[in-house]
Structure 1
Amino acid sequence: MFRSYFRVAFRNLWKNKAFSAINILGLAIGLATCLLIMIYVLDELSFDRFNKQADRIYRVDADIKFGGTRYDIATAAAPMAAALRQDLPEVEQAVRFRGYGGFLVRLNDRNIREDKVIYADSTLFNVFSFPLVAGDPATALTQPNSVVITENTARKYFNSTDVVGRNLLINDSINYQVTGVMKELPGQSHLQFDFFASLAGSKESRELNWLSNNFNTYIVLREGADPRKMQAKLNQVIDKYIAPQIGSAMNTSMEDFLKTGNYIRYSLMPLTDIHLHSNKKAELGPNSAIQYVYIFSAIAMFILLIACVNFMNLSTARSANRAKEVGIRKVLGSIRPQLIVQFITESMLISFVAMILALGIAWLLLPYFNELAGKEMSIGLSSTPWLAPASLIIAVLVGLLAGSYPAFFLSAFRPVLVLKGAIANGFRTGLLRNSLVVFQFSISIFLIVGTMVIYKQLGYIRNKQLGFNRSQVLIVQNTEPLGSHARSFKQELLAMNGVEGATMTSYLPTSALRNDDPLFLKPVPDQENAITMQTWFVDDQYIPVLGMKMLKGRNFSKNFATDSQAVVINEAAARLMGLKDPLNQKIYEFRNGMQSKEMDAYHIIGVVKDFNFSSLREQVTPLALFLGENRGSMAFRIRGNNIPQLVAQMEEKWKVTVPNQPFSYSFMDDDFNALYKSENRMGKISLSFSVLAIFIACLGLFGLAAYAAEQRTREIGIRKVLGATATNIVHLLSRDFLKLVMVAILFAFPAGWWAMHRWLQDFAYRITIGWQVFGLAALMAVVIALLTVSFQAIRAALTDPVKSLRS
């Protein structure tokens, strides 16, 4: 019997090739989109779960408020790891990471810049599941100047992975011994480094300074330990170790420290939550956000539902052609359950064919999707073993969901009425189908609104006045190898035609280098006088080269010897200090850190207009600029159209000054845009999904238009005989669908406004969602609907009325 069902189903699909193709295409696109998003979501949820102890590994994070500034950071104090292992029996193991930036590695006669460098404790392999292919994990990082590298890195420098005991020359001065070679880190690890250097040689790692938080600290809890109870015990560590140092540095008790609104808190972040739930300062790499997982999952579900709705609409649109078949089958003895099985079989056949096509579409689109999402996902038996059973289950569920309504609907036709040329009363009621079309277009309009708001916010970010001029600024990076030649190199480039100005510092608005310190309004280190802010070291050309504006006072000058003890602050710092006229006021800083009692005085010579040196998700925070030399990078303001030639001249001068050293550069505009990679990706993915959703929804609208034209064939013929023009007929058929679109707009706009309003709250500087967004979205929806319906409406309007009346 089932063989007969499949044979009849196949014949019916083959007979109506165009209808079947539209149906299968709509389902296939919806299924392919669903599969791609499933691969993305599962990849996001799998981060760091490959670690054998993943469920017991936690990162120790700090939440600190002091001197009017709050810091939510992914780091802890240097002695934290040892103290937790010593004082809390629940802690089984701990490891610390410290980033000191990249380094230069000698390869043959040249240096290569390596930035994926991290320093780690020798307990690294006791915490994380990073298998070594060579070397002993127990001793690999116990000695100073030892390093563990990945397989690809070993092949890059030695053409082999059997390299334990060999040396790498770092920064032209230090030999690091390779003590281990590890397998390539999985893409689903938030730790993406090629070099793990030993912390054993770091003096900072051995200091008992609890007031500086620079180490990413991970602990492993023992089996059965309750992380919530551990959270409470972290307060004991604060009272035992941190309180005495605060008392010594600030001349106050911990109780008084807390009374003024200051605090120091530590918390445990589960390892498996870091990628999707953590976006703190000093992260070891860029993370994603759980909101995107929710959004994309919802989009996948909606697009799949839209595809199923299409199937229902297209099936019922063709129901008049199946009515006689149903009537004859019933007269010949078929019962309703048999008819239901027949139509469900057709639905399942379409679903399975669509799924096969969807797998092909997903495979073809995956490289493009990887580029959008910034991932390296793949489809295969090893990488996605769940795909085959999941595809089978989805195909069955989609077949049942999409085919159930047409099956029950078509099998309910009364044979007597059908064979007389009439169709069951329920056939003319289109409430469900209209509701489904409203649902389709509501989702499509929602996606249109979301995409428009995202792109409008990105445009606002690109065009916002940031307080500095980022255009036409070329940054020569990693200039440390210049050493004593740094100043002369800067002057030689400054003399080039096309270079208008130059400044030497790593503290650029678009760089990652940041430094915050406590300053004091009086030469007394107590919390009442304390203010915490960013402290940067720049030269006298920094402000003019970057196009910043002085609001009060003056910039640093070589003509004033006292500027070595001067400071320029921004507006936010002036507000934090509560000074209406900060010029010539003094601020004080510890000479050798908070453990020192000696302080240096600096006089304020100017106030610079606030400029954004962090993401626009954050407000501008207090900043103090000190006159000093930092040779990490140089920024050049350039002019002219022949930029490649100018860059080539700079590189040539670099090679003459420091042969065999890598020359790297970037443009400040590009560095700024890189801060918003996730938003740019979100915009592109949303645009792609919006186009797919609209396309699939249009297929559904096309089906309903065909259904309406088919149902009103005789009415159209009569109207044309009585004098109706083609324009009248098109207007008649289009009017009903425009009503559905308007209803969809009423549902989509409030939901779109709410969702995008929530998304914009992540930005301190953001657009307002004006009526223009909704007006344009409504216009697009109406135009798309009209274009879709017009084909069927014009076709019906141009039909010979004689043929219509004979139908």
Structure 2
Amino acid sequence: MIKNYLKIALRNLRRSKVMSFINISGLAIGIATCLLILLFVQYEWSFDRYHEKADQIVRVVFKGMVQGEKLNESTVMPPVAEALKDEFPEVEEATRLRVAGRPTIIRGEETYKTHEAAFVDANFFSVFTLPLVSGDAATALVEPNSIIISEAVAEKFFGGENPLGKTLDFKNGGEPHKVTGVMEEIPENSHFQFDIFIAMSGLAEARQPSWMVSEFYTYLVLPEGYDYKKLETKLPSVFDKYAGPQMKQAMGMGIAEFRAAGNDLGLFLQPLTEIHLYSDFAFDLSPHGDIRYLYIFGAIALFMLFIACINFMNISTAGASKRAKEVGVRKVMGSRKRDLVWQFLLESILLAMLSLAMAIVLVSLALPLFNEVADKQLSLNSLPIQWLVPGLLLFGLLVGTLAGSYPAFFLSSFRPSVILKGGLGIGNKSVSLRQGLVVFQFFLTIALMICTGVVFRQLQFIQDAKLGYDTSSVLVVPELWALGKNEEVFRQQLAQDTRVVSASYSGYLPAGSSYSNNFFLIPGQDKTKMVKTLRYDVDEHYLPTLNMKLVTGRNFSSEMATDSSGIILNEASVRAFGWQEEEALGQQLVYVNNEGLGTTYQVLGVVEDFHFKSLHEQISPLVMVLGSRSGSAILKVQTGDVATLLADLKKSWTALTTELPFDALFLDERIYETYKAERRVGILLAVFASLTIFVACLGLFGLTVFATEQRTKEIGVRKVLGASVASLVQLLSKDFIKLVAVAYVLACPLAWWVMNQWLEDFAYRITLNGGVFVLAGILALAIAFVTVGYQSIKAALAHPLKSLRSE
């Protein structure tokens, strides 16, 4: 019997090839899209959850408010870990990490600077699950100058030899570092990525008792099931106990007085599993994600799957309605209702299973491109196969059963005499349900179209925004320190190169992250009035090289010895100190450091505000001082042959040092990288919006087919009575266009609210206007008209005799 059912099902598929393909492909696209988003969401959600104690680990962070400026830092002071472990019995373990950058490793005559390193406490590997392939994790980092390296580093430096007991020489690192352990590679879904871990016991800073400097990432292990908020409420007392006296000594005021002036500082806790998706802290160890995007994409996945399922049912129903007479004939020939029910259910389930198979193929084909756009390394293997396969099969069975339920139970229940006389009709409730589903589909589709348009407008606004400096033809050559004593030779070569219009040397670039917190105070004022600023150490060529505009005053001059104690403020700093631009000239500011009052500076000029952070953030107070730190060469170049210039610079660099390979990046490329995450989200939104539109159009097409099938006789009669093709197209199309119009009216308020919430994350943003909304409405109506119009024109052009005979 089942064999016979399958034969009839395959025969019906061949008879309706186009409709079957549309039905299968529509559901397949919906499932494939859902799987891709599921892979993305699962990957983002999985960060740091592979640690055995993931639910028990929290990170200690530092927050505060100083004169209206927020402090949000992921690093805390050296003694915090020990103090919290001593003060609170619920802290089972406390461990620290301090970034060591990329140390220069010397092997023979070769030097390498390609591996990220960090200092960690000896118990770090008992807190985090980082398995060692050799060595003892409990003792590997007890002794100073001990290191644990990754398998990749071990292979690179030691080949097939056993690295345990061997040493690596770090330039300027004192004694050789002994390899005491080799670890597996850290998973990609970790908020820190290091190749080398160095024993913290050899770092003098780690033993400092100061509560006034914060460069240590500190993690606590709490009891299983313990609410970290309980411990967090106790942290202010500990901070006041240890930091209060040191603040009094350094700043001349206690913590209570500091808070009474409207300021605040303190320690807080952040669960390890929230670091990647919920962080807004400075100095984070890696770029973080955003939980809001996971909610958005998760909602898109569910809506897309829902739309695809509804379309599948609509088109299945529309196709099945044409088989009413077949049902009547088969019942006359003796088929039982049970046989018809199984026939229709099996056909529908078969289509659903074919859609599942096609979806898996589509995901496999789309994953490489998706990974490139999303900048991930996703794989179907990352999903738990033990529930994915049964889940997909159950889903296919459920969708197939629901889609086949109408023809199986509705058509098979009619008496043959009613069906063969053409008495089969569709009730108003069924029509209303279908219309409601079309409205819902286009409601989601239009909302996505509007959101995508707003995202791209904001991204374009970012690209076109006036940053306050010139990014064109500005080349940055970083890490000049690698040149050593040859740095001056390199500078002279640049000065003689006619293609280099201007050159500045500074470790501070006005793009990307800039975190060099300082506090300045007007002499004579109470220390509660100190202003938190960022500080740039620059030379006299910095402003002209970047074409920054002085509002008033003058630039630094190397010929004026007094400029070493001069300072240039941005407009935000002037406002923070309560001055006008002209009034600021000649004023004095004193630098407040950990020991108290430091150098006194005199204001030489005021530079126009420029964006040195992301446009997500307001321009904050900034001071520039004449400094000697080089950091990077910032070059304003003028040449039509950039490739040759880069080749010449690389040749000069290589002749002067082999410690680091030559690296150069144009400033506008660095700015582009700052908004890379937003661009990825914009592209993914556009792709998913396009797929949603396509699937929604399939649903509309299915409903149009269903409607025209029901009105075949009416169309024939109208044509016999002289109705034109245009009037028939209008007759068949107007109801569907109305549905899309209703969806548009409902979608606009939702899209407006969602995009307003998203734009609030940008300090500098576009203003929502009607342009995007009108364009989305026109586009939706056009898409709907084309989709409906095709089937309507086809029905209207059919010969009336054929239409009447078919009834």
> 1:221 matched to which residue of 2?
222
> 2:539 matched to which residue of 1?
539
Structure-to-structure mapping, 1:148-187, within 5 angstroms: 148-160=148-160, 162-171=162-171, 174=174, 175-187=176-188
Q: How many angstroms apart in 2 are the aligned matches of 1:497 and 1:630?
A: 25
Q: How many angstroms apart in 2 are the aligned matches of 1:427 and 1:4?
A: 35
Q: How many angstroms apart in 1 are the aligned matches of 2:778 and 2:461?
A: 23
1:646 aligns with 2:652: no
On the 8 A contact 2:569/2:623 being kept in 1, the answer is: yes
- SS where residue 620 of structure 1 aligns? coil
Q: How many angstroms apart in 2 are the aligned matches of 1:409 and 1:774?
A: 42
> 1:87 matched to which residue of 2?
87
Shift of 1:745: 0.8
Match of 2:590 among 574, 580, 588: 588
Structure-to-structure mapping, 1:240-251, within 5 angstroms: 240-251=241-252
CA deviation vs aligned residue, 1:602-645 (integer Å, no higher than 9, x gap): 00001111111111111011111110022221111112221111
> 2:675 matched to which residue of 1?
676
Q: How many angstroms apart in 2 are the aligned matches of 1:406 and 1:36?
A: 32
Q: 1:737 to 1:716 in 2, by over 3 A?
A: same
1:713 aligns with 2:712: yes
Q: 1:412 to 1:105 in 2, by over 3 A?
A: farther
Q: How many angstroms apart in 1 are the aligned matches of 2:406 and 2:116?
A: 56
Q: How many angstroms apart in 1 are the aligned matches of 2:338 and 2:291?
A: 45
Shift of 1:523: 5.3
Q: 1:517 to 1:609 in 2, by over 3 A?
A: same
> 1:113 matched to which residue of 2?
113
Q: How many angstroms apart in 2 are the aligned matches of 1:320 and 1:597?
A: 86
CA deviation vs aligned residue, 1:424-469 (integer Å, no higher than 9, x gap): 3527952111211121112111111111111111111111001111
Q: How many angstroms apart in 1 are the aligned matches of 2:498 and 2:395?
A: 64
On the 8 A contact 2:94/2:219 being kept in 1, the answer is: yes
On the 8 A contact 1:134/1:161 being kept in 2, the answer is: no
> 2:697 matched to which residue of 1?
698
On the 8 A contact 1:311/1:403 being kept in 2, the answer is: no
CA deviation vs aligned residue, 1:399-435 (integer Å, no higher than 9, x gap): 2444445545544545433211222352795211121
Q: How many angstroms apart in 2 are the aligned matches of 1:712 and 1:745?
A: 27
Shift of 1:106: 3.5
> 1:750 matched to which residue of 2?
749
Moved more, 346-355 or 645-654: 346-355
> 2:561 matched to which residue of 1?
561
CA deviation vs aligned residue, 1:568-593 (integer Å, no higher than 9, x gap): 01111111111121110000014xx3
Q: How many angstroms apart in 1 are the aligned matches of 2:314 and 2:586?
A: 76
Q: How many angstroms apart in 2 are the aligned matches of 1:218 and 1:11?
A: 65
> 2:194 matched to which residue of 1?
193
Moved more, 442-451 or 138-147: 138-147
Shift of 1:156: 2.2
Q: 1:160 to 1:518 in 2, by over 3 A?
A: farther
On the 8 A contact 2:57/2:222 being kept in 1, the answer is: yes
Q: How many angstroms apart in 2 are the aligned matches of 1:185 and 1:519?
A: 41
Q: How many angstroms apart in 1 are the aligned matches of 2:427 and 2:161?
A: 74
Q: 1:133 to 1:266 in 2, by over 3 A?
A: same
On the 8 A contact 1:515/1:535 being kept in 2, the answer is: yes
Q: How many angstroms apart in 1 are the aligned matches of 2:701 and 2:783?
A: 11
Q: How many angstroms apart in 2 are the aligned matches of 1:161 and 1:613?
A: 48
> 2:439 matched to which residue of 1?
438
Moved more, 58-67 or 510-519: 510-519
Moved more, 146-155 or 618-627: 146-155
Q: 1:357 to 1:619 in 2, by over 3 A?
A: same
Q: How many angstroms apart in 2 are the aligned matches of 1:508 and 1:425?
A: 69
TM value normalised by structure 1: 0.95
> 2:364 matched to which residue of 1?
363
Q: How many angstroms apart in 2 are the aligned matches of 1:333 and 1:42?
A: 53
On the 8 A contact 1:104/1:111 being kept in 2, the answer is: yes
Give % identity.
43
Structure-to-structure mapping, 1:35-434, within 5 angstroms: 35-106=35-106, 109-114=109-114, 116-160=116-160, 162-171=162-171, 174=174, 175-223=176-224, 225-329=226-330, 339-380=340-381, 384-405=385-406, 407-411=408-412, 413=414, 415-426=416-427, 430-434=431-435
Q: 1:388 to 1:161 in 2, by over 3 A?
A: farther
1:20 aligns with 2:27: no
Q: 1:240 to 1:494 in 2, by over 3 A?
A: same
Moved more, 471-480 or 427-436: 427-436
Q: How many angstroms apart in 1 are the aligned matches of 2:620 and 2:161?
A: 47
Q: 1:77 to 1:338 in 2, by over 3 A?
A: farther
On the 8 A contact 2:56/2:225 being kept in 1, the answer is: no
Shift of 1:355: 0.7
> 1:765 matched to which residue of 2?
764
> 1:777 matched to which residue of 2?
776
TM value normalised by structure 2: 0.95
- SS where residue 664 of structure 2 aligns? strand
Shift of 1:330: 5.0
On the 8 A contact 2:348/2:401 being kept in 1, the answer is: yes
Q: How many angstroms apart in 2 are the aligned matches of 1:265 and 1:679?
A: 32
Q: How many angstroms apart in 2 are the aligned matches of 1:277 and 1:109?
A: 45
Moved more, 334-343 or 313-322: 334-343
Shift of 1:679: 0.9
> 2:549 matched to which residue of 1?
549
- Across the aligned residues of Structure 1 and Structure 2, the Cα RMSD in angstroms comes to 2.2
Q: How many angstroms apart in 2 are the aligned matches of 1:498 and 1:406?
A: 77
On the 8 A contact 1:323/1:413 being kept in 2, the answer is: no
On the 8 A contact 1:522/1:529 being kept in 2, the answer is: no
- SS where residue 732 of structure 2 aligns? helix
Q: How many angstroms apart in 2 are the aligned matches of 1:378 and 1:12?
A: 36
Moved more, 94-103 or 51-60: 94-103
- SS where residue 219 of structure 1 aligns? strand
Q: How many angstroms apart in 1 are the aligned matches of 2:461 and 2:535?
A: 29
On the 8 A contact 1:471/1:668 being kept in 2, the answer is: yes
On the 8 A contact 2:258/2:528 being kept in 1, the answer is: no
Shift of 1:696: 1.1
CA deviation vs aligned residue, 1:208-228 (integer Å, no higher than 9, x gap): 111222211111113454422
CA deviation vs aligned residue, 1:703-735 (integer Å, no higher than 9, x gap): 122222222222222332333332332233222
Q: 1:157 to 1:512 in 2, by over 3 A?
A: farther
Q: How many angstroms apart in 1 are the aligned matches of 2:41 and 2:382?
A: 18
Q: How many angstroms apart in 2 are the aligned matches of 1:708 and 1:459?
A: 43
Q: How many angstroms apart in 2 are the aligned matches of 1:406 and 1:263?
A: 69
Shift of 1:655: 1.4
Q: How many angstroms apart in 2 are the aligned matches of 1:191 and 1:61?
A: 16
Matched residue type, 1:495: Q
Matched residue type, 1:310: N
- SS where residue 419 of structure 2 aligns? helix
Q: How many angstroms apart in 2 are the aligned matches of 1:200 and 1:774?
A: 61
Q: How many angstroms apart in 1 are the aligned matches of 2:317 and 2:480?
A: 70
Shift of 1:659: 3.6
Matched residue type, 1:506: G
> 2:470 matched to which residue of 1?
469
> 1:573 matched to which residue of 2?
573
On the 8 A contact 1:109/1:660 being kept in 2, the answer is: no
Aligned residue pair count: 803
